[in-house]
Amino acid sequence: MWINVALETDATHAEALSEALMAQGAISVGIEDADAGTERETPQFGEPGCEAAPLWQSSRVVALFEPAEDLVGRVAAALREIGIEDLPEIVLDEVEEQNWVQLTQSQFDPIRINDRLWIVPSWHTAPDPAAINLELDPGMAFGTGSHPTTRLCLEWLCANVAGGETVLDYGCGSGILGIAAAKLGAGSVLGVDIDDKALDAARDNAARNGVAMNLQHTREPLTAGFERVVANILTNPLCVLAPLLAGRVAPGGRIALSGVLESQGQQVIDAYAPWLALRIGASLDGWIRLEGERPAC
C-alpha cells in the first residue's frame, strides 16, 4: 500500500514544492491543472503567438509516499523549505497494491464511434471485424477515443473523409484523429504537436495501424492548405491559433474544432469570424464541436 498526498499551490511554487517533497521521501511527484475540466482550464505549453505560464497558475501537486508516520509533517516541512508557512488543505488517500497492468486494461474496452469506426485496445478482439478498427492503447499522449471531444472529432471525420482528402490534425497528441483519417481513406495526413512525446506516440501508433502519417513540431513552418483541418485542443489556444488554422483551410475545405465547452463556443466563433464563419455542429456531455467551410472561390 502507498499514500497519495495532494495539495494545491500556484505556478511560482509548484516545481520547487515537487523537489522539496522528493527530498522528504516521496516516491514520485506530479503536477496537474487544478482547474482541469472547467472554464479556467489552461494549456501548460505555449502555442505559437501565445505567451503561457510554464505551469498552471492553480496547480495541484500529487506525491506518492510509502506509509510512514507524520506525512502531514513532512509536507509542512517541504512547504516551509520553499517559504510557505500557511498550511493548505492536504488530502491523503490510500493506494492499494494492485496489478496495474490488469487494472489499466480493464478500464479501456473497445469504443464504438459509429457503424463505420471502432477504437480497439490491443488486448481486445475487434467486436466488428468488418468495420474500420483503429488499434490504440492508452499512453503518455492524450487521446484514446473515450473523451467526448475526441469522439466529436472522430464522428466529424467519418462524415467528412470520403477518400483522397488532405488532412491536418493540429495538436495531434496520440495521433488518433490523423490515424482515423488515414484509415478512412484520406490521401495524406499531417499531424502537428508541441510535445515531442506526443509526436513519438503518434509515430508509433501510426506504424501499429499500418498507415502513413507525416508528423512535425509546431516550431516548424506550416504553410500548406488542407481540405480537412481538425484540432482538438483547448479554447484559449484555439483562439490564439485562429489566423493560423483558418489560413490552412484550402478553398472548398472544411474545419472542425473541439476541446470547447458549450459556454465557450461564442468566444471561439468570434475569434475565427475575420477568416471563417463557424457554427456549432454537435455537442456531447457539455462539450461542442465547431465547424466551418471556406468557399471554393
Look at the alpha carbons of 213, 214, 218, 224 in this order and tell me if their dihedral is positive or negative: negative
* pLDDT at residue 85 is higher than 70: yes
| Residue 58 in grid coordinates | 492553480
In this prediction, residue 242 carries a pLDDT of 97
Residue pointed to by grid coordinates 497528441: 173
- What domains, with CATH codes, occur in the chain? 2-97 (3.30.70.120), 108-293 (3.40.50.150)
Around 114, how many Cα atoms within 13 Å sit in the side-chain half-sphere?
12
Cβ partners under 8 Å of residue 287, min gap 6? 148, 149, 152, 258, 259, 260, 261, 262
Write the pLDDT tens digit of every residue in 135-184: 886 554 456 667 899 999 999 999 999 999 999 999 998 899 999 999 99
Q: Are the beta carbons of 259 and 238 closer than 8 angstroms?
A: yes
* pLDDT at residue 32 is higher than 90: no
Write the pLDDT tens digit of every residue in 36-78: 767 777 655 444 444 444 567 889 999 989 888 788 999 999 9
Q: Are the beta carbons of 245 and 224 closer than 8 angstroms?
A: no
In this prediction, residue 97 carries a pLDDT of 62
Write the pLDDT tens digit of every residue in 96-121: 665 555 555 556 788 899 999 998 88
Prediction pTM value = 0.70
Q: Are the beta carbons of 194 and 232 closer than 8 angstroms?
A: no
CA 56 to chain centre: 15
In this prediction, residue 5 carries a pLDDT of 92
Around 273, how many Cα atoms within 13 Å sit in the side-chain half-sphere?
7
Write the pLDDT tens digit of every residue in 236-282: 999 999 999 999 999 999 999 999 999 999 999 999 999 999 999 99
What CA dihedral angle connects 151, 156, 159 and 160, to 10 degrees?
A: -140
31, amino acid identity: I
Strands 287-293 and 226-232: unpaired
Spatial separation of the C-alpha atoms in residues 290 and 89, rounded to whole Å: 39
Spatial separation of the C-alpha atoms in residues 83 and 89, rounded to whole Å: 17
| Cα dist from 15 to 3, 9, 27, 194, 292, whole Å | 20, 10, 16, 21, 41
In this prediction, residue 260 carries a pLDDT of 94
In this prediction, residue 224 carries a pLDDT of 95
